[in-house]
Structure 1
Amino acid sequence: MNTTASAHWEELTWEEISDLISSGTDAAILPIGATEQHGPQLTVGMDSLLGRHLCASVAQKTGVPTLPLLPYGCSLGHSHRWPGTLALSPQTLISVVTDIADWLYPAGIRKLFLVNSHVTNEAPLRCALEILRARYDDLCIALFNTGKLTPEIAATFSEDADDWHANAAETSLVLHLAPSSVRADKLASSDDPDRTGGCVFSHPVNRTSLNGVTGSPSQATAEAGKTLYQRLEKELVSLIKTGLSETPPLENSYFRNPETA
């Protein structure tokens, strides 16, 4: 694997990409973020900020190039109550991801790692995965959701709210990665409790939060953000390195019945 080439797909020429694939790098990382309100204390690019930093770092450590980040996601649940959110429909996100894969496959990419840093992108991305693995017999696709990489990471994200958003964990990550994106004067007054406990229905955020936050960003620290980020990075590097050497348990084609003796 060529680890000397740029970790960023958009910084390579077509000849360099061709050489990279010919030399055995047949994998790519696709970061998917969002542009949505993150309470009074965080900028609307929080999810994309995390995805961009994390995937760039992981690309450097694994030799797998990272594709340009998708800065829009399925954020319909955040409503029009607070300006700033720019959301895609689930169908659009599915189409964007499958369209990208339709161009990666002829170029020689056979392993695609979807790294999702926005919770409600998960369902449409899983649908895209289903479509692509049925469309291409030898394309392997993995979906990693940053908030769920391990049970320990999931527990950290949900320490102050089960239905967390713009909470202590996310605010801590931004304090570590881009402190200028945190409005420090808003931290003490931004806490808003999780009101979803015991609910039967999945309500949009305009009906569960007063200010777009669910959790306690006042508890955030840069040190906690650094610790969480390092755990995210370590786990994602491990998962991608494992995926690079993984082969299907069986080689049966999706399109043909197995031969019988």
Structure 2
Amino acid sequence: MSALPSLPLLWSERSWEEIPGDLQAAAGAALLPVGATEQHGPHLGCGMDFVLADALCRAVSARTRVPMLPALPYGCSLGHSRRWPGTIALDPLLMTDLVRQIGAQAYHSGVRRLFLVNGHVTNAAPLRCALELLRAAHDDLMLALVNTATVSARVRAAHFRDAEDWHANRAETGLMQALAPALVREDRIVDADDPDRTEGLVFAHPVNRTSRNGVTGRPSEASPAEGAELFAWMVEDLTALVRRGLTETPPLPHSYDGPAVVTEGA
């Protein structure tokens, strides 16, 4: 009889008595999946980004036994405009502070290695700001910001295959066909393709000025098999990165707060 697959270690299901032991066994590490609720063209549900971040972190938690915090389902989606219904966007300043507060509370529960696993491209700036604030406030807290679409070279290549400024494209559609088919409107995929119009532009334009239907790329080329293979790569490559992070230490032991003491060989 084959062994049953491991289950993810979900923070929300653990008691206050269990969490310290969970963290001790995982070198003080935790995963925070971050997504968005936003339009994804006529063929995908609005929860695509947080559904993916949640599924990916669950799979990685199951492999690594690193506790997973509840997924954040809202993100910085202001660039999608109000042309299409469905987008629930956070102000980037609010998002920065929200993640900062989540990280601070996790720190007080014992987290010392926090992986911010980002499933939405334009969350990157507020998440980086939150990382900077947390790192400055907690000298012994290490943070990693990982974007799901660029976790490795092969994952990046798959996402960018049909567009540089991709959205609801071949990769994302295939992922949802494989992971969450309830989010996919198969009858709307065939006419959903829309080209990338951003090449050579100087300014960063919102999606209402770069896409006719909220899509950038060729979702018509997607397949569940390709999506399943891509997700397997994402799990494998993020798992490897997390495992490396569990044993990493800072290159130098110097305190953030100083003072700077110059000694020979320092």
- TM score, norm. by length of structure 2: 0.94
User: 1:166-245 maps to which residues of 2 (within 5 A)?
Assistant: 166-245=168-247
Q: What are structure 2's unaligned runs of at least 5 residues?
A: 1-5
Query: Which residue of 2 is the match for residue 155 of structure 1?
Result: 157
Among 62, 87, 108, the residue aligned to 2:89:
87
Separation of aligned partners in 2, 1:240 and 1:57: 12
- Aligned-pair distance for 1:178? 1.2
Percent identity between matched residues is: 53
- Aligned pairs, how many? 258
Q: 2:30 and 2:159 mapped to 1: Cα distance?
A: 27
Q: Could you report, residue by residue, the CA deviation over 1:3-59 in whole angstroms, capped at 9, with x for unpaired residues?
A: x89610000111111332355641100000000000000000000110011000000
**For the structure 1 residues 6 and 162, does the alpha-carbon distance in structure 2 shift closer, same or farther, using more than 3 Å as the test?**
closer
Q: Secondary structure at the match of 2:18?
A: helix
Give the CA deviation at 1:214: 0.4
Shift of 1:257: 2.2
Q: For residues 152 and 31 of structure 2, what CA distance do their matches in structure 1 show? A: 19
Q: Which amino acid aligns with 2:250?
A: P
| 1:195 to 1:211, Cα distance in 2 relative to 1, 3 A | same
Partner of 2:77: 75
Q: Is residue 11 of structure 2 the alignment partner of residue 9 of structure 1?
A: yes
Secondary structure of residue in 2 paired with 1:99: helix
Instruction: Describe the superposition over 1:174-232 as per-residue Cα deviations: whole angstroms up to 9, x where unpaired.
Output: 00001121101001110111111111111000011110000110000001101110111
Residue type matched to 1:105 in 2?
A: Y
Aligned partner of 1:21 in structure 2 is 23
Task: Work out whether 1:48 is the aligned partner of 2:53.
Answer: no
* Paired AA for residue 233 in structure 1: V
SS of alignment partner, residue 141 of structure 1: strand
Task: Return the offset for 1:260.
Answer: 4.2
Secondary structure of 1:249's counterpart equals: coil
Q: Where in structure 1 are there 5+ consecutive unaligned residues?
A: none
Amino acid aligned to 1:185 = D
Secondary structure at 2:17's aligned position in 1? helix
Amino acid at match of 1:94: T
- For 2:21 and 2:153, locate their aligned partners in 1 and report how far apart those are by CA, in whole Å: 39
Report the 3-state secondary structure (helix = DSSP H, G, I; strand = E; otherwise coil) of the residue aligned with 1:130.
helix
Residues 88-118 of structure 1 show CA distances to partners (whole Å, capped at 9, x for unaligned) of 0111111011101111112111000000000
Q: Name which of 142, 145, 150 aligns with 2:144.
A: 142
Give deviations 1:121-178, integer Å, cap 9, x for gaps: 0011011111111111100000000111122221211111110000000000000001
| AA in 2 matched with 1:84 | G
Pair 1:114 & 2:116 matched: yes
Name the CA distance, whole Å, in 1 between partners of 2:244 and 2:47: 30
Distance 2:7 2:40 in 1: 35
* RMSD of Structure 2 on Structure 1 (CA): 1.4
- 1:227 alignment partner AA: E
Structure 1 stretches (4+) deviating beyond 6 angstroms? none
Q: Separation in 2 of the partners of 1:64 and 1:23? A: 8
Q: TM-score w.r.t. structure 1 length? A: 0.96
Distance 1:180 1:72 in 2: 20
